[in-house]
Amino acid sequence: MIGSSVSGNLPRTQELIAKTRAYDRAKLSDEELEAAYLEATRQVIEGQVKAGLTHVNDGLLRWQDLLRPFTLGLGGVELGPMARWFNNNTFYKVPIVKEPITYKGSVTEKLGYRKLLPKGATLKAVLPAPYTFAALSEDRHYADKAKLHAAYAEALNQEAKYLEKLGYGYIQLSDPALVYVTTKPAKKELKAYGKVLEVATAGLKAKTCLQTFFGDAGDILPEALGYPVSDLGFDLYETAPETLKGLKLKGGLSLGLIDARNSTIEDAGEITEAAKQILKTLKPKDVYVSTNCDADFLTWEKAEEKIKVLVRVAENLRRDA
Amino acid sequence: MAKLFETYEIGSLAKHSWRLKGFSGAKLTEADIAEAETWGKRLGLDYKPLIKLLKGDAPDKRQQVVNWSALYAVKMFEKLGLDYVYTGEQWREEMYAHVAKNVEGFEFTGWIKSFDYRYYRKAAVVGEVKYRDPYYIDEYEYIKPHAEAELKVPITGPYTMTDWSFNEYYWRKLGKVKSLKERKSRARRELMLDVVDNALRPEFEKLIAAGTKWIQIDEPALTTQPTAEEMSLFVEVWNRLVAGLECRFSLHNCYSDYGLLAKYAPDLKNCDQLSLEFANRDTKAPGRKRPAYDLIKSFEDHGYEGAYAPGFVHVHTDEIASPEVVRDRILCVADIAGAERVYVAPDCGLRTRTWEVAYENLENLVKGADLAREEVS
């Protein structure tokens, strides 16, 4: 299949931003804030559905950062200081692992709006992958990366299974730290990471994708080809196309061809050509046209326009297939 | 012998409510007026014309309020005894937005998440970056006759302006480049160079012609992209920015990877000094052995020969470091680099603190410098 989706969250609308700022200054009640979230979530879902994305999510508008639901919801983890989110002018709060990680029930359900999602499209969940969670955490308990990976992967697996039961058919594991210049692992560690992903994806029937961004996917190849996920996702604004030439893909490929870190609205024809060039030497089972990363670096207006381009590119590829 | 441990502030101060409301046209309360009176008295200013202005409806009220606010900032810094002062950036909306608003090519897209419920206004570069109207010079010309201390003019650097903006125009311009990765990198470089040539250098020339002796180039975004390619790009744009200009230049960078910056700092031409956030990383324990400041050694090891203004007071807390702790921090750096290469400044601008806290913070900074001077004399 040739699908289309956003590789992560969506931006809060400007109206919701105004409401959250008012809430932060104690000028809005909890109920008013919730109403604003509902309204904005409806808007970003409708934007995806109307555009024709094959895979949709609820925008993850309530998530303060990718790790936060796990930081707050898992046993043994506490909220730490603020740190820069990779090479962006945005920040996250560091998870501090103080005790053994335990899963106490869904960490994302309360923050999500599952009921607002449409019935026709494939629902896409977005969760932080084990490498990224561990790389961005402060470990005061395990003192051993492998143990931390394993413990988190176990909890992640339970969350993924829970979401699968709720109807999510596609589970993206976001793993920017795996390819980012200052956090990526040594080459020799890459093979072992496959075992960690085995734990994270064990027993899932939903499709899974290890989505990398903010770094060059060439650094995890060819090892990542053997990872136990349905699809691999690459940021094509950080990865040179020649890196992907002739890759022996076992599953599908999510092509991060729409830049969610720049407001330029891409030309669908240009991006279609770029996709075709990449696919010339590859035979992925499925292809997904995607943003290169989370979309909350943009305004919703810009993200919505980009989603439309993304859908057109997927249509072009289908037409010319 | 030149004065050791000269003191300065980095740039921004919070804006009083009378400054914000007086500028926006919102109704001022008695508490707003009282604040203007209290600080006016405290700073020894004849503040009555300000009160009249705030209560009235003068046609140029907005600009006059801004002028007064800048004057309050300068007089506060001077009262505290800082050796170099400026306007507390009272003329500017904010360091990034001020440039984006005043230079051709930038257009604001909206609010973007910074973290949690905090956001920033982000601009897109939608056209070629071009000089439009002066945007730092009016502030300088207003404050120059009012200031008794030396002036140091903080400006926002090209790396930060580029890193904090969307790049539409230069991306489109490079449509023939097939690799998205290469296109992005080339578009970034072109934008940065145009910010240097078309936005900043023309203003620098005006500032210098008007008498500016010291320009501090603020680059908080530096090392956000922690690669050799990016750091080399920064060195290239810095050297292009200051080339041939007769002025003292310093670099301010904060909350950053100094280990990385240290490798490239020796290549920065005409960089008189580095002002870097350090107190944030330090403890409040007494003594001249302070591991947080050890990173200065890294700059020394790489051969940086300029001076240092490592932050000696933390700006993101209301806890005020004692003069003795400030003294110990200064002496610790003096032990590494030599007393004659140490300037005394806070970690960063004080805009997140109240004026009361900023005042106490800078007061202890100055006292700490006095104590350090006594120690080495």
Higher confidence at residue B316 or residue A231?
A231
Distance CA A139, CA A153 (A): 15
**Residue-wise DSSP of B96-145:** HHHHHHHSEEEEEEEEEEEETTEEEEEEEEEEEEE--S-SSHHHHHHHGG
| pLDDT score of A121 | 87
Subunit contact A297:B124, Cβ cutoff 8 A: no
Q: Say yes or no for a CB contact (<8 Å) between A237 and B182.
A: no
Question: Can you tell me the distance from the alpha carbon of A312 to that of A285, in angstroms, rounded to the nearest whole number?
Answer: 20
A188 CB-near residues (< 8 Å, 6+ apart): none
| Mean of pLDDT values over A44-50 | 97
Contact between A135 and A179 under an 8 Å Cβ cutoff? The reply is no
Q: At B190, list the tokens.
A: 């072109």
Judge whether residue A307 has pLDDT over 80. Answer: yes
Q: Is the pLDDT of residue A82 over 90?
A: no
Residues of chain A contacting B222 with CB distance shorter than 8 Å? none
Closest Cα of chain B to A266: distance in Å? 9
CA–CA separation, B343 and B7 (whole Å): 6
For chain B, domains (ranges, CATH) are 17-376 (3.20.20.210)
Which comes out higher in pLDDT, residue A175 or A121?
A: A175
pLDDT (0 to 100) of residue B62: 96
Query: In sequence order, what are the residues at sequence separation of 6 or more whose Cβ sits closer than 8 angstroms to the Cβ of residue B208?
Result: B215, B245, B246, B247
Instruction: Write the residue in B163, B180, B225 that is nearest to A236 by C-beta.
Output: B180
Separation of first and last alpha carbons in chain B: 11
Summarised one tens digit per residue, pLDDT across range A147-161 is: 999 999 999 999 999
Say if the Cβ atoms of A91 and B178 lie within 8 Å: no
Q: What is the SS3 assignment for B24? A: helix
Domain locations in chain A as residue ranges: 2-64+112-130+143-320
Distance from CA of A13 to the nearest CA of B (A): 9
Say what the pLDDT of residue B278 is: 96
| B175 part of contact set with chain A, CB < 8 Å | yes
Q: What is the distance between the alpha carbons of residues A175 and A132, in angstroms, rounded to a whole number?
A: 5
Mutation target vs A (from B121, B181, B277, B352; most A CBs, 10 A cutoff): B181
* Domain at A2-64+112-130+143-320, CATH class: alpha beta
- Contact call for A11 and B166, based on CB within 8 A: no
Contact with chain A for residue B171, Cβ under 8 A: yes
pLDDT at residue A81 in the model: 87
- Say whether B112 and A91 touch across the interface (CB within 8 A): no
The pLDDT of A158-180, averaged and rounded, is 97
* CA atoms of A298 and B119, how far apart (whole Å): 12
Chain pair A-B, CB pairs under 8 angstroms: 90
* Whole-number pLDDT of residue A126: 98
Give the pLDDT band (50/70/90) at residue A119. confident
Helix or strand or coil: residue B315?
coil
pLDDT string in tens for chain B (377-residue length) = 789 999 999 999 999 999 999 999 999 999 999 999 999 999 999 999 999 999 999 999 999 999 999 999 999 999 999 999 999 999 999 999 999 999 999 999 999 999 999 999 999 999 999 999 999 999 999 999 999 999 999 999 999 999 999 999 999 999 999 899 999 999 999 999 999 999 999 999 999 999 999 999 999 999 999 999 999 999 999 999 999 999 999 999 998 999 999 999 999 999 999 999 999 999 989 999 999 999 999 999 999 999 999 999 999 899 999 999 999 999 999 999 999 999 999 999 999 999 999 999 999 999 999 999 999 98
Average pLDDT, chain A: 96
3-state secondary structure of B308: strand
Average pLDDT over residues A60-82: 97
Q: Which residues of B touch A257 (CB under 8 A)?
A: 180
Interface confidence (ipTM) of the complex: 0.95
HSE on the CB side for A212, CA within 13 Å? 27
SS3 for A93?
A: strand
Return the amino acid letter for B187: A
Task: Provide the pLDDT for residue B218.
Answer: 98
Residue A39 has pLDDT above 90, yes or no: yes
**pLDDT for the residue numbered A279:** 94
One-letter amino acid for residue B145 of the chain: P
Closest residue in A to B110 (Cα) is A299
Global pTM?
0.92
Q: What is the DSSP string of B151-162?
A: E-EEEE-HHHHH
What's the mean pLDDT in A238-257? 94
Chain A neighbors of B228, CB-CB under 8 A: none
